[in-house]
Structure 1
Amino acid sequence: MSRKPSFANLRDRTSPGAVTAPRTVTVQATADGQAPTANIPNGQTIGGQGATTGPASRQGRKQIAGFFSPEMSFAMHTLARRQGRSLQALMAESFNDVLRKHGESPIGD
């Protein structure tokens, strides 16, 4: 089941006229039998396998995810909307509060 679309996802999109066609990566074996190398654009993989380089805003970051009740999801999204903040910013604040509660130093964003 796909996720319900959110208007917040539209903020970072480019206009339809600014979208470029996907690039093709050609990989050739080297004459000395070495493993081939390729220049891969951000967010793409070779053959859909392995890690992606991802957008610049995600460089040096790790994903933390969880499954919550629909009521918790709605409450967090509503609070984020009322405060004009992102859900990620609210999650960072709550994680820092948990770290403080357990005597650890807060990390920041």
Structure 2
Amino acid sequence: MSRKPSFANLRDRTIAEPAASPAPVGGQGATTGPASRQGRKQVAGFFSPEMSFAMHTLARRQGRSLQALMAEAFNDVLRKHGESPIGD
């Protein structure tokens, strides 16, 4: 059985300058992202595994995306607190 290589011999090597990264594919820069995300901001949260499973299951059952269900939930919260729903 072969042994895993030791990284100890890499410790004394000099670090070479990183090569220039190739141009992004499709004209999309690293900071711009896909066109579908233009003008949008990420909203994220941490939930229990049970909540995650329930939401993914519901989305799959309804043939909708998790993002669409979250938008619906956020709009419901806005309505509940007297704010106008945003839509998407």
Q: Which has the higher contact order (CA 8 A, sep 6+)?
A: 2
Larger radius of gyration: 2
TM-score when scaled to structure 2?
0.67
Consecutive unaligned residues of structure 2, counting only runs of 5 or more, are: none
**Deviation per residue, 1:34-58 (Å, 9 max, x gap):** x9999999xxxx9999971100000
Seen in structure 2, the aligned counterparts of structure 1 residues 90 and 106 have a Cα distance that, compared at 3 Å, is: same
Runs of 4+ in 1 over 4 A off after TM superposition: 1-12, 35-41, 46-51
Q: Relative to 1, partners in 2 of residues 1:102 and 1:48: Cα closer, same or farther, differing over 3 Å?
A: same
> Retained in 1: the 8 A contact 2:55–2:66?
yes
> Where does structure 1 lack aligned partners over 5 or more consecutive residues?
13-34
Q: 1:100 to 1:86 in 2, by over 3 A?
A: same
Residue-pair matches, total: 83
The answer to which structure has the higher helix fraction is 2
CA drift at 1:65 = 0.2
Instruction: Give 1:75 deviation, angstroms.
Output: 0.1
Percentage identity across paired residues of the two chains: 92
> Against the structure 1 CA distance between its residues 7 and 67, is the aligned structure 2 distance closer, same or farther, given a 3 Å change threshold?
farther
